[in-house]
Amino acid sequence: MAFHLGLQRYPGNLEAAQTIAFVTLCTSELLRAFTARSEYNSIFAIGVFSNRWMLWAVAASFLLVLMVVYVPFLNPFFDTVPLTLDDWLFMVPFFFASPIAMELVKVYFRRRTARRRWLLEAGPSSWGRPSQATRHRTAAGPPPRGLSQASGARIA
């Protein structure tokens, strides 16, 4: 997406579009690294600045990205061109797309887990149909041989 919009922004300048895509991808992933610290808890619950080593690693990585873009003798090796302030402002929304998406996935996982926990705590009677073990208890006699009395699961 950033590459395509970069080509529209700089028609005929492939290096500029590639640089925009490169910086967008690198920066977005550096920011997403903060959300990857937990598969379940929000970045705000953990604390953005709670891991000093991660801050140093992300800062050093971002410095390397800046060097690839702005140090003239590195430009030919990476086929990059210096970006303007307008380019950076153009890319800012894309930097946060991946981290925001990850945080939304975490919200979904937390809600799904909370719903499952609620269903387990509420018990089979709240699920709208009797469980296998309940059906066996209400039918005539004990459950068939080899089934657990409590869960209805097969036992060895």
The lowest-confidence range among 39-53, 64-78, 95-109, 111-125 is 111-125
Helix, strand or coil, per DSSP, at residue 17: helix
Q: How confident is the model at residue 132 (pLDDT cuts 50, 70, 90)?
A: low
Give the total number of structural domains in the chain. 2
| C-alpha to C-alpha distance for 53 and 33, rounded to whole angstroms | 12
Q: Which residue has the tokens 């991808």?
A: 25
pLDDT band at 94 (very low <50, low <70, confident <90, very high): very high
> Is the pLDDT score of 98 beyond 70?
yes
pLDDT at residue 88, as a whole number: 94
Same domain, 107 and 32: yes
- Does 153 lie in the same domain as 105? no
For residue 26, what is the enclosing H or E element? helix 14-35
The whole-number average pLDDT for the span 55-84 is 94
Question: Is residue 102 within a helix (H) or strand (E), and if so which, with residue range?
Answer: helix 97-122
Q: Are 139 and 99 members of one domain? A: no
- Asked if residue 72 and residue 45 are part of one domain, the reply reads yes
Range of the domain at 140: 128-156
Q: For residues 6 and 64, state if they share a domain.
A: yes
At residue 147, φ and ψ (nearest 5 deg) are: -105, 145
Tell me, yes or no, whether 20 and 79 share the same domain.
yes
Q: Do 49 and 69 lie in a common domain?
A: yes
Residues 92 and 16 placed together within one structural domain of the fold? yes
